[in-house]
Amino acid sequence: MHELSLLENVREILESHALSQNFSKVTQVTLEIGKLSCVEPDALRFGFDVVMKDSLADGAELIISELNGLGVCRQCGQHCVIETLYDPCNWCGSSKVDVVQGLDMKIKDLMVI
Ligand SMILES: [Zn+2]
């Protein structure tokens, strides 16, 4: 389950932010997950408490915000919402779509003390 290693990354980022921005506890974490990132929100929720235990985010609330996949068509230049990496352009049907949004997971917001 790669969600656990993603969460370990998140914890490391929180720890380095805590040092540079001078906070000692995180009470809420908002993660933004691209729908094309292959990250399972349920697996994140399940792993979050385990990975954050005994860290500065122990007991923090997890909020997950999903971000639609977005592509730009090379044929007609339109932006299109895509559900998978192989979706065709929904304007002209071309399969040459460059993904511009929705591939990764990032920390969107933090509440800290
Ligand atoms: Zn198109």
Altogether, the residues listed in the chain come to a count of 113
Q: What is the pTM of this model?
A: 0.87
pLDDT of 108 > 80? The answer is yes
All residues with CB under 5 Å from ion ligand 1: 73, 75-76, 89, 91-92, 94
For the domain 2-112, what is the CATH code? Answer: 3.30.2320.80
Per the listing, tokens 């511009």 go with 100
Assign 1 a pLDDT band (cuts: 50, 70, 90): low
Structure confidence by residue, pLDDT tens digits, 85-107: 999 999 999 999 999 999 999 99
Helix (H) or strand (E) run with residue 35 in it:
none
Cα(88) to centroid of ligand 1, in Å?
8
Q: Where are the beta strands (DSSP E) in 1-113?
A: 26-34, 61-67, 69-73, 79-82, 97-101, 105-112
Structure confidence by residue, pLDDT tens digits, 12-70: 999 999 999 999 999 999 999 999 998 999 999 999 999 999 999 999 999 999 999 99
Distance of CA 54 to the CA centre of its chain: 23
